[in-house]
Structure 1
Amino acid sequence: MSPAVFLNDTTLRDGEQTAGVAFTTQEKIDIAEMLAFAGVPEIEAGTPAMGEEEIEVIRVIAGLGLDLRVIAWCRMTDGDLAAARASGAGAVNLSIPMSDLMLSKKLGIGRDEALSRIARHVAMARDAGFMVAVGGEDASRADPDHLARVAEVAAEAGAFRLRLADTVGILDPVTTANMVRRVVSTGGIEVEFHGHNDLGLATANSLAAVRAGARHISVTVNGIGERAGNAPLEELAVALGRLDGLETGIDWKQLPALSARVAAASGRSVPQGKPIVGSDVFSHESGIHVAALLKAPETYQGLDPAMLGRRHKLVVGKHSGTAALDHALERIGRQLEADVAPVLLALVRHHATKTKGPVSTADLQHLLTIAEGFCDLGPQESEASAPEDADCTMPAGEHQLHS
Structure 2
Amino acid sequence: MNIKVLDTTLRDGEQTPGVSLTPLEKLRIAHKLDEIGVDYIEAGSAITSEGERESIKKITQQGFNAEILSFARPLMVDIDYCLDCDVDAVNLVVPTSDLHISQKLKITPDTLLDLSNTAVDYCKDHGLIVELAAEDASRSDVEFLKLVYENAIDRGVDRICVCDTVGILTPDSSFELFSKLNHFKVPIAVHCHNDFGLAVANTLSAIKAGARELHSTVNGIGERAGNTSFEECIVSIDRLFPDFSTNIKISEIYGVSKLVARSTGVYIQPNKAIVGENAFSHESGIHSDGIIKNSATYEPITPELVGRKRKFIIGKHMGTHGLDSRLKELGFYVNEEQLQQICCDIKVLADKGKTVTDVDLHAIAENVLHINYEVRIQLDELTIVSGNKVLPTASVKITIDDEKILNAGVGVGPVDAAINALKSLDIFKDVDLVEYHVDAITGGTDAFIDVIIKVQKGDKVVSARGTEPDIINASVKAYIAGVNRLLSD
Range of TM-score over shorter length: 0.7 to 0.9
Is it true that 1:177 corresponds to 2:142 in the alignment? no
The structure 1 residue matched to 2:42, chosen from 14, 31, 44, is 44
Is it true that 1:195 corresponds to 2:192 in the alignment? yes
The letter for the 1-side match of 2:283 is: E
Runs of at least 5 residues in structure 1 that lack an aligned partner in the other structure: 374-403
The letter for the 2-side match of 1:201 is: L
1:356 offset after TM fit, Å? Answer: 4.2
Q: How does 1:362-401 map to 2 (within 5 A)?
A: 362-368=359-365
Equivalent in the alignment of 2:124 = 126
SS across alignment from 2:336:
coil
- Name the TM-score, length of structure 2 as normaliser: 0.72
Give the number of the structure whose residues are more often helix, by fraction.
Answer: 1
Structure 2 distance, partners of 1:328, 1:19, is 40
Q: How does 1:77-116 map to 2 (within 5 A)?
A: 77-116=75-114
SS across alignment from 1:21:
coil
The structure 1 residue matched to 2:24, chosen from 23, 26, 31, is 26
The letter for the 1-side match of 2:238 is: G
Equivalent in the alignment of 2:236 = 239
**Any idea what the Cα deviations from partners look like across 1:281-328, whole Å, max 9, x if unmatched?**
111110001111111222112011121222321122110112223333
Structure 2 distance, partners of 1:70, 1:324, is 47
Q: How does 1:284-303 map to 2 (within 5 A)?
A: 284-303=282-301
Structure 2 distance, partners of 1:91, 1:25, is 20
Contact 2:346 2:356 in 1 (8 A): no
Structure 2 distance, partners of 1:368, 1:18, is 45
Mean alpha-carbon deviation: is it higher for 238-247 or for 323-332?
323-332
**Any idea what the Cα deviations from partners look like across 1:89-119, whole Å, max 9, x if unmatched?**
0101111111100100111112222222222
SS across alignment from 2:352:
helix
Structure 1 distance, partners of 2:339, 2:70, is 62
Structure 2 distance, partners of 1:111, 1:134, is 16
Contact 1:72 1:84 in 2 (8 A): yes
Corresponding residue pairs, total? 368
The letter for the 1-side match of 2:128 is: F
Equivalent in the alignment of 2:15 = 17
Structure 2 distance, partners of 1:93, 1:140, is 18
Equivalent in the alignment of 2:154 = 156
SS across alignment from 1:46:
strand
1:352 offset after TM fit, Å? Answer: 2.3
Q: Where in structure 1 do 4 or more consecutive aligned residues deviate above 4 Å?
A: 340-343, 368-373
The letter for the 1-side match of 2:30 is: A
Rg bigger for which structure? 2
**Any idea what the Cα deviations from partners look like across 1:138-164, whole Å, max 9, x if unmatched?**
111111111121221111111111111
**Any idea what the Cα deviations from partners look like across 1:349-374, whole Å, max 9, x if unmatched?**
232243543442x422433465679x
Is it true that 1:253 corresponds to 2:251 in the alignment? yes
CA RMSD of aligned residues (A): 1.8
Contact 1:139 1:167 in 2 (8 A): yes
The structure 2 residue matched to 1:204, chosen from 196, 201, 204, is 201
In structure 2, do the counterparts of structure 1 residues 184 and 294 end up closer, same or farther at CA, with 3 Å as the change threshold? same
Equivalent in the alignment of 1:314 = 312
Give the number of the structure whose residues are more often strand, by fraction.
Answer: 2
- Name the TM-score, length of structure 1 as normaliser: 0.87
Structure 1 distance, partners of 2:236, 2:368, is 45
1:330 offset after TM fit, Å? Answer: 4.1
Contact 2:23 2:54 in 1 (8 A): no
Structure 2 distance, partners of 1:8, 1:139, is 18
Could you say which structure has the greater relative contact order, defined with CA pairs below 8 angstroms and 6 or more residues apart?
1
Contact 2:316 2:346 in 1 (8 A): yes
Runs of at least 5 residues in structure 2 that lack an aligned partner in the other structure: 371-489
Equivalent in the alignment of 1:386 = none
SS across alignment from 1:50:
coil
Equivalent in the alignment of 2:140 = 142
Structure 2 distance, partners of 1:164, 1:181, is 12
The structure 2 residue matched to 1:220, chosen from 217, 221, 225, is 217
Structure 2 distance, partners of 1:372, 1:55, is 63
Equivalent in the alignment of 1:334 = 333
The letter for the 1-side match of 2:224 is: R
Structure 2 distance, partners of 1:86, 1:282, is 46
The letter for the 2-side match of 1:64 is: Q
Percent of residue pairs identical? 38
Contact 1:21 1:267 in 2 (8 A): yes
Contact 1:151 1:183 in 2 (8 A): no
1:347 offset after TM fit, Å? Answer: 2.3
